[in-house]
């Protein structure tokens, strides 16, 4: 999964302006956006994971600032000084709500970069019963550390 996520994000970063515009239209299910996203998606992505990849493609299309060194989305939201209440709403998202809540939050981080590889990995694990992604994001958001690693 790590290599597949990295390959996908690498392909996203090579998109031109027209492709990014098409990716933004994924939210409305526009065929051009779907065509671009599926062309970029590695063939090894299982069908059940496609929605997670489409979500990252949509987010990247509207906020094309990727940096693999920025940590998880919790640390980015802290740096953006996102309000606690907005972040809590994101953490409470059910899997079917996650895409829309991520669109809102990523739109609020301004010019800060997002680690889209880590975000894709986190989205894939969002509904884990231990909620370890949400806990890691919370630690990153409410502590002074720049990044929080999994131990």
pLDDT digits (tens, 9 = 90+) for 60-94: 999 999 999 999 999 999 999 999 999 999 999 99
25 has a pLDDT exceeding 70 = yes
d(CA 78, CA 25) in angstroms, rounded, equals 28
* List of domains in the chain: 2-142 (1.10.520.40)
- Mean per-residue pLDDT of the chain: 93
Measured in residues, the chain has a length of 151
6 has a pLDDT exceeding 70 = yes
pLDDT of residue 147: 47
What pLDDT band is residue 30 in, cutting at 50, 70 and 90? confident
122 has a pLDDT exceeding 90 = yes
Contact criterion met (CB below 8 Å) for 45 and 4:
yes
Phi first, then psi: give them for residue 125, nearest 5 degrees.
-105, 5
In the block, which residue shows the tokens 């986190």? 122
Q: Which of 103, 112, 126 is nearest to 57 (CA)?
A: 103
DSSP for 107-150, written as a single string: HTSTT--B-HHHHHHHHHTTT-TT-HHHHHHHHHHHSS-S----
């Amino acid at each position: 999964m790590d290599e597949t996520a990295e390959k996908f994000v690498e392909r996203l970063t090579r998109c031109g302006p027209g492709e990014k515009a098409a990716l933004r239209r994924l939210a409305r299910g526009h065929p051009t956006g779907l065509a671009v996203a599926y062309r970029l998606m590695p063939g090894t992505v299982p069908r059940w994971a496609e929605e997670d990849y489409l979500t990252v493609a949509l987010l990247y299309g509207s906020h094309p600032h990727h940096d693999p060194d920025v940590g998880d989305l919790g640390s980015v939201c802290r740096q953006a000084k996102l309000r606690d209440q907005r972040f809590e709403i994101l953490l409470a998202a059910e899997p079917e709500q996650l895409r829309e809540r991520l669109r809102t939050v990523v739109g609020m981080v301004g010019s800060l970069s997002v680690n889209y590889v880590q975000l894709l990995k986190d989205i894939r694990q969002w509904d884990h019963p231990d909620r370890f992604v949400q806990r890691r994001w919370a630690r990153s958001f409410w502590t002074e550390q720049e990044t929080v690693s999994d131990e």
